[in-house]
A and B are shown apart, each in its own frame.
Chain A
Amino acid sequence: MTLNTALEGKTYPPVRVTLDEERVRAFARAVGHRGPGAPPTILTVPEIEAGLRNVVSDPELGVDLAGVLHGEQTYEWSRPVAAGETLTAEASIESIRGRGGLQFLTLRTDVRDERGEAVALARSTLLIRDQE
């Protein structure tokens, strides 16, 4: 199946996520984070809740999780995040590009704090292989 490129620009509803301290500790242990502050990629938590989870369950897209690979990932941090913070994440489909049985979907997620100030920008590029 071919993803509908008309879905470029589609924005998912913003999601509020509180970075529960125990969850941040568990995340830090899992990735071997010994440094100061919270693990930088703890932003994956709001990113999944706001966007990545929608992409694989959006009937308009019709993505089969079994055919999805993570191709590229970028984080741009405006400031570090701390355990206990509440963040708002809003995801949108930035681009859909095709190449034969392989398509590239780039999802952009903007993460803000409770004052509405930018915390980080996340970009995920998924490789979606044809399952038929």
Chain B
Amino acid sequence: MSPRFEDLEVGQELPGRTRLVTREDVRAYAEASGDHNPLHQDDEVARAAGFPRVVAHGMYTMGTLASWLSEWTGDPAALRRLHVNFRAPVLVEETIACGGRVRSLDPEARTAVLEVWVTLERDGATEWPIRKSEAEVRLARRSRG
């Protein structure tokens, strides 16, 4: 169910989403995006760079976050801006969690600024692959059905 601007409140958390990052999806992402950096496809290259196995593209993780946000709005024109800071790697076979919270509202423009993040659990600790990041969405007026 997509949100109505009038129902949003500052501090409100968005319904989150978790997603298992599979090797197949990362390989398909490399193919579809055109980013063929071997760090994202070859375990040997990833190990030489200090990772236990292949790392997902930062843009894979951002893409997952952006698509989740877009789906939450229910309107392909709603997402106006997304700025992310990449802070930690995501390894294939890990599960990422996308989250967000309303930071501010502009009733005149019907825009909401959201603080957004992506976390994962590794060795009993929470890692933040994306944090201190921000999105702006504009929610169109809807006619009541």
A7 within 8 A of partner (CB): no
Residues of A within 8 A of B17 (CB): 32
In the complex, what distance in Å separates the CA atom of A37 from the CA atom of B57?
22
Query: Are A39 and B63 also in contact (CB < 8 A) when A27-B29, A77-B80, A80-B76 are?
Result: yes
Contact among B28, B37, B67, B72 with A41 in the assembled complex (CB-CB below 8 Å): B67
- Chain B residues within 8 Å of A116, by CB: none
Find out whether the CB atom of A75 lies under 8 angstroms from the CB atom of B59: no
Q: Provide a sorted-by-A list of 19 A–B residue pairs whose CB atoms are within 8 angstroms.
A: A23-B32, A26-B31, A27-B33, A29-B25, A30-B29, A31-B60, A33-B70, A35-B73, A35-B76, A39-B63, A39-B67, A39-B70, A40-B79, A49-B34, A73-B58, A74-B83, A75-B66, A75-B81, A77-B80
Q: Interface code A78-105, partner B: CB below 8 Å = 1, 0 otherwise?
A: 0110000000000000000000000000
Are A80 and B59 touching (Cβ within 8 A)?
A: no
Is A73 within 8 A of B62, CB to CB? yes
Whether a CB of chain B sits under 8 angstroms from the CB of A45 is: yes
Chain A residues contacting B29 (CB-CB under 8 Å) are: 27, 30-31
Contact of B71 among A24, A26, A34, A76 (CB under 8 A): A34
Task: Check B75 against A36 for contact (C-beta < 8 Å).
Answer: yes
Interface of A is mostly: mixed
Q: Does A66 contact B (CB under 8 A)?
A: yes
Does B64 belong to the interface (CB within 8 Å)?
Answer: yes
**Which of B's residues lie within 8 Å of A, judged by CB?**
17, 19, 25-26, 28-29, 31-35, 37, 49, 57-60, 62-64, 66-77, 79-86
Residues of chain A contacted by B75 (CB below 8 angstroms):
36
Chain A neighbourhood of B76, CB < 8 A: 35-38, 40, 80
**A69 adjacent to chain B (CB < 8 Å):** yes
Give complex CA distance A14, B17 in Å.
37
**Which of A32, A35, A40, A44 has the most chain B CB within a 10 Å cutoff?**
A35
CB atoms of B67 and A74 under 8 A apart: no
Within 8 Å of chain B (Cβ to Cβ): is A28?
Answer: yes
Query: Assuming the A-B contacts A35-B76, A80-B77, are A72 and B59 also in contact, with contact meaning beta carbons closer than 8 angstroms in the complex?
Result: no
Please pick, from A23, A31, A44, A71, the residue contacting B67 in the complex, using a CB distance under 8 A: A31
Interface check A1, CB cutoff 8 A: no
Q: Are A69's CB and B35's CB within 8 A?
A: no
Residue ID in chain A nearest B28 by CB atoms: A30
B33 to A: closest C-beta gap in Å: 5
With A40-B82, A41-B62 given, name 6 new contacts (CB 8 A).
Answer: A33-B71, A35-B70, A35-B76, A39-B70, A40-B67, A80-B77
